[in-house]
């Protein structure tokens, strides 16, 4: 009797459906994403229905959402604040990368005496309360030569330094993880092929670290944008000088002007979303293999 004449039984799956698995994951993910979106919508709704200051027409009720934002944008101080935020955050992000790449590489590749200690030290800026970071910077600069002090304290460089302290810590962590994931043997082969350490690093390791660089850079940028505690203390909040969007939000909040605070927050969100999307798109395009 050959097999061909026997009946073929349709196998019925007794294992449960895959659907519950995906449902649970989607629910968790969706809830969190919706929560973030809900925050933004709540902010927008808060501004709706409040009397308009700039727009006055029949469209006022509908556009009342946009009105506080326009009112904020109309002020030259806010426009200065936006420019300063964008420029300083970008500067901080680049400086963070310049610092994080060597440190991340060294920590990743080499076992050296005190490595764990250095690791812990690099995490300190993340752990310290932001106000303490600002205060410590201020105290540190008491011991610094006069010229340097005058150029930094309560001036624009203070903004960048304060942002850098925290943003860089995140960049270092990211770059360390990135280098950890790049196979050591690639550099080793490059060395045998005739590269110096610089060439091996630059021609082999860095290209493979591009995604990590982009992540570290955007993380540092975003962190710098949101930072205000150290800035208030170390850089002050002088209009048209050291005021950035994050300090504006805090200060508007402190005088009870929630509307203005929310308006500026939404400007921040818009700026951040634009920059981060642009960076991701441009970065990913150059990363496609």
Partner 1 sequence: MQISSSRQGSTNTFFLLVGGAVVLLIVLTLLLAGLNRRGRTALTGASDVESGGLFFYCAAGMQPPIEKIVAEYGDQYDIPVRVQYGGSATLLSQLEVSGTGDVYLAADDGYTDLAYEKGLVEERIPVASMCPVIAVQKGNPKGIRSIQDLLRKDVRVALGNPDQAAIGKKTRKLLEDAGCWEAIEEHVTKKGVFKPTVPEVANDVKLGSVDAGIVWNATAAQYAELEAVRTEELDRGAAQITIAVLQRSKTPTAALKFARFLAARDRGLEYFAETGYEPVDGDVWEETPEITFFAGSVNRRALEPIIKRFQEREGVIVNTVYNGCGILTAQMRTLRENQDSGFPDVYMACDVYYLETVQDLFREGVNVSNTDIVIVTQAGNPKGIKSLEDLAKPGMRVAVGQPDQCTIGVLSRRLLESEGLSEKIRPNIVTETATSALLVPQVTTGAADAVLAYATDTLAESEKLQVVPIDSPLAAAIQPFSIARSSDFKYLGERLFATIERSPDAFTSAGFKWRLSSTVTEGSKGKGSVESEEETGDPEQP
Partner 2 sequence: MIRVDHLTLRLGSFSLRDVSFDIPSGKYGVLMGKTGCGKTSLLEAIAGLKPIESGRIILGQTDVTELKPAERNIGLVPQDGALFSTMTVRDQLAFALIVRRARRDLIGRRVSELAEMLEIGDLLDRYPAGLSGGEQQRVALGRALAFRPTTLCLDEPLSALDDSTRCQIMELLKRVQRETGVSVLHITHNRSEAGELADVRLELVDGKVESRNGKDG
Q: Which residues bind partner 1 (CB under 8 A)?
A: 76, 80, 83-84, 87-88, 90-91, 94-95, 97-98, 131, 135, 138-139, 141-142, 146, 149-150, 153-154, 156, 198-199, 201-203, 206-207, 210, 213, 232-234, 236-242, 251, 253-259, 285-286, 289
Under rule CB under 8 A, residue 284 binds partner 2? no
Q: Which does 255 bind (CB under 5 to 8 A by kind): partner 2, partner 1, none?
A: partner 1
Under rule CB under 8 A, residue 198 binds partner 2? no
How many C-beta atoms surround the C-beta of residue 90 within 10 A?
A: 17
Under rule CB under 8 A, residue 240 binds partner 2? no
Kindly state the smallest distance separating residue 156's Cβ from partner 1, in Å.
6
Listed residue (99, 230, 90, 121) closest to 172, CA to CA = 99
Listed residue (227, 198, 190) closest to 101, CA to CA = 198
Q: Measuring CA to CA, how many Å separate 32 from each of 262, 266, 269, 283? A: 21, 19, 17, 26
Listed residue (240, 121, 253, 107) closest to 177, CA to CA = 107
Residue 143 has which token pair?
Answer: 């011991």
Kindly state the smallest distance separating residue 12's Cβ from partner 1, in Å.
50
Under rule CB under 8 A, residue 110 binds partner 2? no
| Residue 44 or 118 with smaller CB distance to partner 1 | 44
Give the one residue of 11, 16, 51, 194 binding partner 2; rule: CB under 8 A: 194
Under rule CB under 8 A, residue 48 binds partner 2? no
* Cβ-based burial of 76 (10 A; exposed 0-12, middle 13-18, buried ≥19): exposed
Under rule CB under 8 A, residue 183 binds partner 2? yes
- CA-CA distance, 266 to 10, in Å (whole number)? 58
Give the one residue of 26, 31, 83, 196 binding partner 2; rule: CB under 8 A: 196
Listed residue (169, 148, 158, 135) closest to 84, CA to CA = 158
Kindly state the smallest distance separating residue 274's Cβ from partner 1, in Å.
18
CB distance 131 to 229 below 8 Å: yes
Kindly state the smallest distance separating residue 175's Cβ from partner 2, in Å.
17
- CA-CA distance, 248 to 190, in Å (whole number)? 50
How many residues lie near partner 2 (CB under 8 A)? 19
Q: Which stretch binds partner 2 (CB under 8 A): 107-115, 146-154, 202-210, 225-233?
A: 202-210
Under rule CB under 8 A, residue 188 binds partner 2? yes
Give the one residue of 75, 79, 115, 186 binding partner 2; rule: CB under 8 A: 186
Q: Which stretch binds partner 2 (CB under 8 A): 33-41, 145-153, 194-202, 239-247?
A: 194-202
Phi, psi torsion values for 283, nearest 5 degrees: -65, -40
Give the one residue of 107, 161, 171, 190 binding partner 2; rule: CB under 8 A: 190
CB distance 249 to 265 below 8 Å: yes
Give the torsion through C-alpha atoms of 144, 149, 155, 158, to 10 deg.
0
Residue ranges that bind partner 2, judged by CB under 8 A: 183, 185-186, 188-196, 199, 203-204, 207-208, 210, 289
């Amino acid at each position: 009797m050959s097999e061909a004449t026997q009946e073929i039984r349709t196998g019925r799956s007794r294992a449960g459906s895959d659907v519950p698995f995906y449902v649970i994951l989607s629910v968790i993910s969706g809830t969190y994403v919706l929560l973030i979106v809900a925050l933004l919508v709540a902010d927008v709704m808060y501004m709706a229905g409040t009397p308009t200051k700039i727009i006055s027409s029949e469209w006022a009720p509908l556009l009342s959402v946009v009105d506080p934002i326009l009112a904020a944008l109309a002020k030259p101080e806010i426009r200065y604040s936006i420019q300063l935020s964008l420029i300083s955050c970008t500067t901080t992000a680049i400086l963070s990368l310049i610092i994080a790449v060597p440190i991340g590489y060294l920590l990743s590749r080499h076992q050296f005496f005190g490595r764990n200690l250095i690791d812990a030290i690099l995490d300190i800026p993340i752990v310290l309360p932001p106000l303490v970071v600002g205060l410590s910077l201020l105290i540190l600069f008491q011991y610094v030569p006069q010229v340097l002090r005058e150029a930094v304290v309560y001036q624009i460089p203070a903004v960048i330094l304060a942002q850098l302290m925290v943003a860089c810590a995140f960049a270092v962590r990211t770059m360390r993880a990135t280098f950890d994931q790049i196979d050591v043997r690639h550099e080793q082969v490059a060395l045998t092929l005739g590269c110096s350490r610089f060439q091996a690093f630059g021609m082999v390791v860095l290209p493979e670290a591009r995604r990590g660089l982009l992540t570290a850079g955007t993380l540092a940028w975003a962190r710098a944008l949101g930072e205000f505690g150290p800035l208030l203390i170390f850089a002050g909040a002088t209009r048209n000088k050291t005021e950035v969007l994050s300090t504006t939000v805090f200060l508007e909040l402190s005088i009870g002007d929630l509307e203005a605070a929310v308006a500026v927050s939404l400007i921040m969100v818009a700026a951040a979303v634009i920059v981060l999307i642009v960076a991701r798109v441009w970065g990913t395009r150059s990363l496609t293999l």
